[in-house]
């Protein structure tokens, strides 16, 4: 991210698929002298609940990996463990929702793996660093990361603030990519169902 021109940052934002969808976002402007951590050190800056959720997710992935080599007999065990994992995800989602600060709460206009557009009451300047908490209800998950404003435009009473993720863990970026694709699939199915019923 460092050293890229604004145009390159906008290109990077556009490289990822984005979907028009409202997710809850905590949006906190950072001081100009704030020094972004390196991506590998991001965990140290996360609120504790996000760290715990991340570790739980990593444990799930490691536990299921050996079952793939066990053949057919492992399928039922894998299904059982996946169900247990889903229960834990739902509980962690509940814990992460407690991290939602109503005084910093906004909604996204669109989001994807490269960035997010947040509807704000006031404008923000380009290159402003923002602390973000993204609450993905459909995925029973939440993400803590940092973003940088790459564009701000007034739309009616609101300001659409476009941010590129400038400090995010790779697995969280992957989650955002999957979430946006899952939502698109759901929208396409819904549209096809409506067209079938018309």
User: What does the pLDDT look like over 164-197, one tens digit per residue?
Assistant: 999 999 989 998 999 999 888 888 888 888 788 7
Helices 170-197 & 48-64 angle (0-180, nearest 10): 80
Other Cβ atoms less than 10 A from the Cβ of 60: the count is 17
Under a CB-based contact definition with an 8 Å cutoff, are residues 132 and 25 in contact?
Answer: yes
Give the chain's domain count: 2
Q: What is the pLDDT of residue 40?
A: 87
What is the CATH classification number for the domain harbouring 119? Answer: 2.40.10.220
Classify residue 125 as exposed, middle or buried by CB count within 10 Å of its CB (0-12, 13-18, 19+). exposed
Q: What is the pTM of this model?
A: 0.82
> Average model confidence (pLDDT) for the chain?
87
Statement to judge: residues 158 and 67 lie in one domain: no
Residue 1 pLDDT > 60: no
Q: Choose one of 82, 98, 114: the last residue of a domain.
A: 98
In this structure, what token pair is assigned to residue 130?
């923002």
Q: In terms of pLDDT, which residue wins out, 192 or 20?
A: 20
Under a CB-based contact definition with an 8 Å cutoff, are residues 88 and 56 in contact?
Answer: yes
State the residue range of the domain holding 90: 48-98
Closest CA to 69 of 80, 58, 77: 77
Region 86-109 average pLDDT: 84
């Amino acid at each position: 991210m460092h050293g890229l021109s604004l145009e390159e940052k906008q290109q990077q934002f556009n490289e990822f698929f984005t979907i028009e969808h409202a997710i809850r976002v905590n949006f906190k402007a950072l001081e100009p002298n704030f020094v972004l951590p390196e991506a590998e050190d991001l965990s140290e800056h996360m609120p504790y609940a996000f760290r715990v959720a991340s570790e739980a997710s990593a444990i799930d992935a490691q536990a299921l990996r050996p079952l793939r080599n066990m053949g057919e007999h492992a399928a039922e065990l894998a299904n059982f463990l996946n169900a247990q994992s889903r229960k834990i995800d739902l509980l962690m989602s509940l814990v992460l929702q407690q991290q939602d600060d109503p005084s910093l709460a906004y909604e996204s206009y669109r989001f994807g793996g490269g960035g997010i557009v947040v509807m704000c009451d006031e404008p923000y300047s380009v290159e402003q660093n923002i602390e973000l908490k993204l609450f993905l209800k459909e995925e029973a998950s939440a993400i803590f990361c940092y973003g940088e404003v790459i564009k701000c435009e007034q739309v009616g009473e609101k300001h659409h603030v476009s941010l590129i993720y400038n400090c995010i863990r790779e697995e969280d970026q992957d989650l955002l990519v999957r979430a946006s694709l899952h939502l698109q699939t759901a929208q396409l199915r819904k549209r096809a169902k409506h067209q079938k019923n018309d």
